[in-house]
């Protein structure tokens, strides 16, 4: 008996002094994986008729929860990411709207990273930033690059300033250029695709060692390395890893191992490589024995660049059953695949049809971290924790949702009803805008329960609903806050 007590006391003492035996943090690690321009209909777990194999994303859904009515707050890269990191609708941003002009996030504005870092988290971003730096696209490679991730709550950053088709092309480590973009690269395209598909990128400056095809593998390896480093660290901090892939956004550059692996052409092959990258991240969490206390999210920033002729050619609908594509006010522009997995906490194999928005991440992360949001934070962020934990609620988490198209057309959704206050897609699908005819509807109203494909415009038939949603949208805009 005395021997057992001595052994127990020795074990306690060893645990207290050994930096290698740290208790698992009570707060979950968070890994947020954001694909770039992947459609709702690409992962097989969302679209059984997908022509693209996505076994790793599918496994994540099997082990976690699918959200079938999740939305980006913007149908293109920049506004989508602004809402994700600030918990704020992008239309509220009265400063820079274009990252080539400067930072979009105001210097003192709280972000998910500042909130979690204040709650004791280590914070990292790997991949695409696309929210601007001081000086816009006029980079001084000899000086620190201010206004980026490390000035908005992230302890570390490795990635690039914008999309993989926007020059200059170079890597950034924290706030420093890794190698200046001193060479010039010619524009690239693919003859069998539209001018903005395939291996498309713009002419511009490039770092001598920068290779477009290497970006996705590099970011995947960096993410794996970061996870392994967290497992080996002596500190007991939980961590946030925001992994913002540059794919399957153009240029579509699947490596040799993935060419011909799908029935979706070059795009489908690149989606398959993204799926493999997700698998590598999940495997790293397993090897590091971090999976059990890590909440993993997977989604995409906006819809795909996939035209009706592509659907006909390949028999693959990248946007699934939804109308439109990237940039559009239609569902295909902003309704995203969205998965959450947290073993033992988030019910496995669950499906949630409730409407959510990327802006909801701030309030959700704060609650999970035990942090209180500042008064000037998360104006449009609703806590999704009850949904994630499978709690039954008498009312939806959020009453309404606002998203915006690439042309800045604000779309409001409440329950099954959706109002687009103009005619046309408001984005990349032609026509983007249609002038109303005398006596005809001035906008679009759809009931997504009865008409998920947005084919029957009820604007003229239901003026009461048009007035109600118009007034609600104006109320949200004027009050400058929609969240509690």
Mind telling me the catalytic residues? 77, 130
Q: What is the Cα–Cα distance from 378 to 360, expressed in whole angstroms?
A: 8
Question: Which of 463, 465, 466, 454 is closest to 426 using CA atoms?
Answer: 454
Residue 411, number of CB atoms within 10 A of its CB:
26
Task: Answer yes or no: are the C-beta atoms of 281 and 227 closer than 8 Å.
Answer: yes
Q: What is the Cα–Cα distance from 221 to 232, expressed in whole angstroms?
A: 17
Task: Answer yes or no: are the C-beta atoms of 367 and 112 closer than 8 Å.
Answer: no
Q: What is the Cα–Cα distance from 287 to 300, expressed in whole angstroms?
A: 26
Q: What is the Cα–Cα distance from 399 to 380, expressed in whole angstroms?
A: 11
Q: What is the Cα–Cα distance from 275 to 282, expressed in whole angstroms?
A: 11
Task: Answer yes or no: are the C-beta atoms of 427 and 323 closer than 8 Å.
Answer: no
Q: What is the Cα–Cα distance from 45 to 414, expressed in whole angstroms?
A: 26
Write the DSSP assignment of 447-458 as a string of letters: ETTT-TT--S--
The DSSP output letter for 248 is S
């Amino acid at each position: 008996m005395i021997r057992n007590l001595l052994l127990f006391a020795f074990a306690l003492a060893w645990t207290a002094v050994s930096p290698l035996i740290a208790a698992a943090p009570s707060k979950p690690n968070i890994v947020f994986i954001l694909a770039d321009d992947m459609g709702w209909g690409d992962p097989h777990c969302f679209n059984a008729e997908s022509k693209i194999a996505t076994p790793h994303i599918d496994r994540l859904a099997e082990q976690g929860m699918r959200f079938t009515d999740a939305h980006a707050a913007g149908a293109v890269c920049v506004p989508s990411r602004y809402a994700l990191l600030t918990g704020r609708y992008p239309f509220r941003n009265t400063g820079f709207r274009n990252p080539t002009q400067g930072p979009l996030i105001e210097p003192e504005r709280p972000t998910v990273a500042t909130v979690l870092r204040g709650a004791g988290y280590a914070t990292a971003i790997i991949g695409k930033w696309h929210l601007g730096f001081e000086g816009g696209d006029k980079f001084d490679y000899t000086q620190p690059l201010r206004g980026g991730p490390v000035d908005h709550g992230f302890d570390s950053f490795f990635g690039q300033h914008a999309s993989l088709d926007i020059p200059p092309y170079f890597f950034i480590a924290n706030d420093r250029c890794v190698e200046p973009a001193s060479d010039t690269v010619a524009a690239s395209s693919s003859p069998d695709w539209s001018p903005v598909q395939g291996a498309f990128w713009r002419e511009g400056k490039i770092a001598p060692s920068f290779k477009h095809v290497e970006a996705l593998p590099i970011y995947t390896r960096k993410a794996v390395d970061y996870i392994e480093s967290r497992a080996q660290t002596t500190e007991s901090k939980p961590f946030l890893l925001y992994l913002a892939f540059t794919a399957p956004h153009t240029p579509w550059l699947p490596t040799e191992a993935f060419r011909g692996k799908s029935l979706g052409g070059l795009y489908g092959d690149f989606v398959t490589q993204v799926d493999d990258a997700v698998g590598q991240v999940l495997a790293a969490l397993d090897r590091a024995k971090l999976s059990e206390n890590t909440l993993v999210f997977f989604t995409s920033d906006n819809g795909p660049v996939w035209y009706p002729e592509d659907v006909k050619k390949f028999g693959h609908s990248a946007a699934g059953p939804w109308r439109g594509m990237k940039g559009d006010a239609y569902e295909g522009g902003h309704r995203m695949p969205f998965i959450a997995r947290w073993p033992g906490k988030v019910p496995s194999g669950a499906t949630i049809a409730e409407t959510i928005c990327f802006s909801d991440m701030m309030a959700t992360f704060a609650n999970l971290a035990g942090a209180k949001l500042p008064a000037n934070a998360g104006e449009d962020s609703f806590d999704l924790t009850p949904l994630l934990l499978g709690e039954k609620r008498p009312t939806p988490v959020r009453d309404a949702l606002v998203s915006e198209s690439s042309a800045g057309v604000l779309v409001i959704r409440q329950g099954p009803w959706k109002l687009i206050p103009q005619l046309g897609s408001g984005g990349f699908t032609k026509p983007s805008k249609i002038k109303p005819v005398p006596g005809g509807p001035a906008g679009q109203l759809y009931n997504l329960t009865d008409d998920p494909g947005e084919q029957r415009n009820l604007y003229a038939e239901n003026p009461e609903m048009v007035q109600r949603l118009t007034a609600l949208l104006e109320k949200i805009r004027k009050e400058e806050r929609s969240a509690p």
